Structures are given as C-alpha cells and as structure tokens.
Amino acid sequence: MGRSSAGSSASLRVLAHPLAAWVSAGVIVLAVWVCYRTTLSAPFLFDDFAAISGNPTLRHLTAIGEVLSPPNDGSGVTGRPIVNLSLAVNFALGGLEPRGYHFTNALLHAAAGLALFGLARRTLRLRTMRDRFGAMADPLALAIAMLWTLHPLQTESVTCVIQRTEVLVGLWYLLTLYCFARGLEEGAAALWHPLACGSCLLGMASKEVMVSAPLLALLYDRTFAAGTFREAIRLRWRTYLGLAATWLLLGFLVMRGGGSRGAAAGFGLGISWWSYALKQCDAIVLYLRLVFWPHPLVLDYGTKVVTRPADIWPQAVLLVGLVSAALISLRRRPSVGFAGMWFFAILAPSSSVVPLVTQTVAEHRMYLPLAAVLALVVVAGFAYGGPRTLLVSLGVVPLLGWSTIRRNGDYATAVGIWADSLAKVGDNNRARVNLAGALRDAGRLPEALELYRKAVEAEPNNAEIYGNISGLFIIAGRYQEAIAPAEKAVKLKPSLVEAHVNLGSALGSLGRHREAITHLRAALALDPRLDYVRGNIAHALIQLGEFEEAIVHCRLAVRENPDSVAGHAGWGEALLGLKRPAEAIVHCQTAVRLQPENIDAHVNLATAYFDAGRPTEAIEHYRTAIRLAPNNAGIRSNFALALSNVGRMVEAIAEYEELLRRAPGFFVAHLNLAYVLSHLGRNTEALAHAEAALRLQPDSPDARRAIDAFRNPPKGRAGAP
C-alpha cells in the first residue's frame, strides 16, 4: 500500500513543475478542440433562430447602439447586450453560416476552462488551503478544469449557439473570482480588483445569474482569505462597493425589459411560483444525478411542472437536506460550505420560484454550478484518499471526453437531435413539432406532415402548429390545402404573423392576389420590420400590374433593411414590368449579391440583361439558375432563347432537346426549337417540332404559321424566317 501511494505521488510530481501551468493550459484548450471540433458543422437549433437569424439588431456591427439594444422579445438575447454584441461580431465575419458561431462558443468554453483552472490553483495556494493542498495545486486544478470542460453535461451550453449566454456569463463569473483571487496577493489589488469589477460588469450584461457574483466574491474572501465577513469588508470595502455597483447595470437591463423576460420568464405567465418551485426540486436532483451519471441527456425536457408536493417529496427532502448541509458547513467547514453556496446561488435565478415557462428543466443551467460539485469531489477525494484518488479523477477525463464526442454527434443534424429528444421524452409535443420542422427542412415532407398531425391532436388549439402545417403545404406546392390550416391559425391567434404570411402566400400562389395582399398587410401591421412581407406584397401587386405601388413597398423594405433580398428583387421585377430594364439591373444585381442561391433573383437579372440588349450577360445568369433548378422548364426555355439570340444555335438546340426530354409537353420549346432548326436549314426536323407544337395547342396560330413556313420556304432561302 505504501509503495502504491509513493508511486502515485511520484507520477503526479511532474504536474507540480513550474511549467505545469502552461502545459496544463495547452492540454485544456487541445481537449476542448478535440471534443467540440465536430460541432462546427452543426446547424442552428431551437432558440438559435429567434436570437440569430430572426434578430435584426445583429445586421450592422457599426450601429453599436442598436447592437447593444437587443430585441425585447424573450429570446436568448433579451436584456443581454454583451451576448448580442458577440453574435453581431460573428454575423459581421460570416453572416448566418453556423460554423463561426460554433467556433466562438468552443473558444469561449476553452477560455472559461482556463479561468477555472487559474482560480482553482490560486485558491489551493491561499493561506487557508496551502498547507494541505498547495504542493499539489496544479494537478488538482487541472483535474477540476478538465472534468468540467469535457463533461458531457456541458454539451448543450457549448453546442447550441444561443446557450452562449451560459458560456459567456460563466467566463465572466470565473474571471471575476479569478481576478479577485489574484488581487489578494500582496501589492496586486490595484490592478486585479478593478479587473474583477470590469468582468463582473460584463457578466451582468450577459445573463441574470451573474447577480450573485458580488456576494460570492465576499464569501470567497471570508472563506479563503480574511476569515470573517467583517474583516473582508474592512480590508476591501472599495472592491465590494465596485462589485455591488454592477447591480445597477443589471437592474437597468431588467427594468428596460419590463421587469421580466417577455413571454419566457416571470410571474403571471400561466405557471404559478409554487408549482414551478416544486418542479425545481425534481430538476435539481436530476442535475446532480447527471453530474455522476450523464445519461440520458436531453435537449428539451418540455414545459411540465409539478402541482402536488406528494409527487416529489423524496427529491424535496433530499434538496432541503443539501441546502441545510451547505448552510451548516459555512460555519463548520467553510470551504465545503462555499462550494454548496456556489452551486445553489448560481442556480437560484433559474431554479427557484421565478417561473421560466418555456423550459422548466434545462441542462444548460448546470454549466457553472457543475464546477462547484466537481471541485468538491476532486479536492475532498484527494484529502481523504491521497494521490491515488487524484489519478482516478484524471483517469475519468478520457471517458467524459469520449461521452462528449458521442453526445455532440447527436447534434450533427436537426433531425438527429430532435429525434433523440422525442425518443427520450415521448410526450414532449414541442420536441415533436421541432422534429417535424427538421424533417420538413430536410425535404421529408410526408414524415413531417404525419408528426404535425400528431402534434395538433395533442394540442388542438395550438395556432403555431396549424401555421406550421400550412407552411409545409406551401413548400409542397399544395396551396389549396394550405389555406384551411392557415385560416385556423389566424382564427385561434390573430396576432400570429406567420399564419397571415402563409395565408397570403397560399392565396397569391392560387392567383387570388387581392385576398393575399389583405393578409400580407395584416402581417405587416403586426410587425412592420418584416421586409420580406413587403416584398411579397410587391410581388402580388406586380401580378396585378400595379408596378408603381409595388416599387413603393420595395423602397420601404430596402429602407427598413438595406440588405433586403425581397425588397431589391421585387424592385427589379417591378421595373422590368415598367420596361425599364437598365434600372432593374441595379436592383437585380443587389439581390443576387445578397443571396447568390436565389433562383428568381438570377432569372430576373438575366431577363433584365436580355431586355437591355445584353444577352451574353443574361446567358451566364440563366446558366446559374439552371444549376440551381435543373427541372425548371421556363428557365431552360429562356436560356435556349438567349443562346439562339447570340447565334449559338448548336448550344440552343442542345438545351431545347434537354428541356423536351424533361418536359415533352412544353409547347414553346417545340416551337422555338423548330425555328432554330429551320435557321440551320434542317426543315424536316423543324417541321416535326412545329407539328408537335400544334398537337399540343391545336388552336395556335403561331404553330400553324410555322408549319406553313417550313412546308413552303421562300425561294432561295434554306429555312423559314
């Protein structure tokens, strides 16, 4: 036994080398990269859409006032300007490509791991801990940091982009305590304690859980340095005054949001404080179980609460016991009490009595509290078991890393993660709806429709689900079927913007443009910022021949959002209707630049070039449009016409033949191909295609004229005019 203990000490001695801190930091960063590099290709999920793709304040980083005033809509950025700023930086660098957002999340998580490592090693070297743990501070701190950064319970916080709120506030919280701890060293307070206050201020602007940081700093001082609260305040009252002043910013941000987080959190939102508090007894015990056995992990637990204490009395008894133990330990074993207060104080804003109605249980809330549990386990294990227990802790790290990599695999696709959630919480209708949406986006429409129907059976008065069903029918081109669920959604919830938009789109696609405009205007009245709705109104007006009014709407859309694809595309289309192709080119070019994969934008630009007498440039955009939509007969027909217009007859013939292979009944293609063939003197083939056109439209005078011309070509000419 003695030899084993000595061997363990020797194997750990290298971790206490003066360079160990730098090596450990590199190991932490490398480990995070290994475990999270696969998430770079993960899509946006869940709340990401409202906070990122649906967030207009991210669009212009230079408009810093707007960036620091995120929408007050209850999304993940509400009341959190620093989070919004970080997302705006990502948007400026890469638009809506998720890769950059995921990379930033992983980078911030690695930084938080480094901050935890630094805080742990300095804490273990303070006067109250030095004699027992100082010599092994570096390996102990490394074990704590590695277990925390690689724990699979952290995956939701790091991999779901908008849970950057947890990662950022965790980083600022840890930096606040780290800077405070460094300021306890002789002569260091003048530099490090102002940095602690600055970190605390940034944390207050990142998430509300930062509220406990000034108090935890005071408790840290009392526990590990000053010995009493009185002495801590006497020695460092200026620092505490600075930390407490950061509450003013948090108060301002909360009050600016009306004292709550919109429809996401607060009282009077359909869940009583009592039933929410009962649910948190169950939730906190679940969180603790997941610390030691992180399976199964679930992205969305739903919105259920507990109404009867009898349903959760064992969890409530355990929780009361843990809180009591933490309070008692504050006096008898201060370091243990500090860990307990860390855990409960940081969980309190989300896991107490203030209802968070959109998620009553969420794994991401354990991002920072997890550190307290792991630190307590590692340090207590070393205190009672010696170096061997520390080696065991380090030995667990690869297992946690492997579990994290596997869990991140579930996030690879939206279909995968929502199927996983529904399989684990089968009665979660929100997971069912989100899985249906993921299947819809993946083109698996029948499966999506089946899930939507099951979802609406579970919640027959849920307007959003009816709106989703109507949207799915629109994607499938089943416009008539889209009308009934859209009307149901509007009836159930007249303020649902998407329902009005879907109803307007379906009616417009059926040629009922006046009715479509009515509902699109209703959507616009509900949210005037929706530039794409103005674009849809403009498109309907264009179909009615009201080009000037369409331009008015497009101009407003572009004024609201200079990068509005719908606004520029509609403007260009309206100018084409007014026979002003030269002006149309400018707006069509902008639409293509903003959205290079937009088929209609390329077609309109090609048409504008063609009408402006620039067929060569038109050809390139028709070619791009065909690449994007190879089965669109109209685009191929226009492409072939442009080719023939510049004398590239052989290529035009090939395009017409490919078009007719895909769509044998395309009248215009037969007729135009007949004239191209005739131009090359191939009258027999030309006559065959003209006759095919006549069979398709027996009353067509154009087809009859072509047949007469090819049967009786003018003398001395090889083909018909």
- Summarised one tens digit per residue, pLDDT across range 105-141 is 999 999 999 999 999 999 999 988 998 998 899 999 9
Same domain for 703 and 569: no
Same domain membership, residue 263 and residue 355? yes
- Domain membership flag for residue 381: yes
pLDDT at 636: 85
Whether the predicted pLDDT of 285 surpasses 60: yes
Among 3-17, 431-445, 546-560, the least confident range: 3-17
418 within domain boundaries: no
Mark whether 216 and 325 lie in a shared domain. yes
On whether both 692 and 558 belong to a single domain, the answer is: no
Q: C-alpha distances in angstroms, 720 versus 334, 676, 712?
A: 100, 10, 8
Q: Any idea what the CATH number is for the domain that residue 644 is in?
A: 1.25.40.10
Backbone Cα Rg of the chain: 33
> Which amino acid, one-letter code, is at 265?
A
* Together in a domain, 665 and 549: no
- pLDDT surpassing 70 at residue 262: no
Q: Are 350 and 368 in contact (CB under 8 A)?
A: no
Q: What is the mean pLDDT of the chain?
A: 91
* Lowest-pLDDT choice from 166-180, 253-267, 273-287, 686-700: 253-267
| Banded model confidence at residue 721, pLDDT cuts 50, 70, 90 | very low
> Do 261 and 386 lie in a common domain?
yes
Number of Cβ within a 10 Å radius of residue 94: 14
Burial of 503 (0-12, 13-18, 19+ CB in 10 A): buried
Asked whether the beta carbons of 348 and 284 are under 8 A apart, the reply is no
Per the CB < 8 A criterion, the answer to whether 523 and 540 are in contact is: no
DSSP-derived 3-state class of residue 633: helix
Q: Are 605 and 570 in contact (CB under 8 A)?
A: no
Task: Determine the Cα–Cα distance for residues 121 and 118; give it in Å rounded to an integer.
Answer: 5
Strand (E) or helix (H) holding 593: helix 581-594
Of 587, 608, 625, the domain-final residue: 625
- State which of 408, 436, 451 marks the end of a domain: 408
Q: Which of 342, 393, 335, 350 is nearest to 368 (CA)?
A: 342
Tokens of 606: 């090609």
Percent above pLDDT 70 for the chain: 95
pTM beyond 0.75: yes
- Long-range contacts formed by 292-297: CB under 8 A, 24+ apart: 294/151, 294/152, 294/153, 294/400, 294/403, 295/403, 296/424, 297/152, 297/153, 297/155, 297/156, 297/363, 297/407
What angle in degrees, to the nearest 10, is found between the helix axes of 581-594 and 599-611?
A: 150
What residue has token string 């969305």? 300
Compute the half-sphere exposure of residue 567: CA atoms within 13 Å on the CB side of its CA. 17
Number of structural domains the chain divides into: 3
Pair (246, 207) in one structural domain = yes
Quote the domain boundaries for residue 137. Answer: 9-408
Taking only the tens place, the pLDDT of each residue in 484-506 is 999 999 999 999 999 999 999 99
Measured at the CA of 314, the angle between CA 308 and CA 317, to 5 degrees, comes to: 100
Q: How many CA atoms lie within 13 A of 413 on its CB side?
A: 10
Q: How far apart are CA 453 and CA 436, in angstroms?
A: 10
Contacts of 91 (CB under 8 A, 6+ apart): 52, 58, 59, 61
The pLDDT, as a whole number, for residue 669 is: 87
Query: What is the C-alpha separation between 381 and 529, in angstroms, rounded?
Result: 57
Q: How many CB atoms lie within 10 A of CB 423?
A: 12
Shared domain for 667 and 581, answered yes or no, is no
- What percent of the chain has a predicted confidence (pLDDT) above 90? 69
Helix (H, G, I), strand (E, B) or coil at 265: strand
Tens-digit pLDDT profile for residues 202-231: 999 999 999 999 999 999 999 999 999 999
Q: Are residues 582 and 637 in the same domain?
A: no
Verify that 139 and 152 share a domain, yes or no: yes
Residue 454 is assigned to a structural domain of this protein: no
What's the CA gap between 250 and 169, in Å, rounded?
A: 13
- Answer yes or no: do 560 and 690 share one domain: no
The contacts of residue 121 (CB under 8 Å, 6+ apart) are 21, 137, 138, 140, 141
Give domain status of residue 513, yes or no.
no
Based on the fold, state whether residues 368 and 226 are members of the same structural domain: yes
Count of beta carbons in the 10 Å neighbourhood of residue 674:
29
How many angstroms separate the CA atoms of 368 and 157, rounded?
10
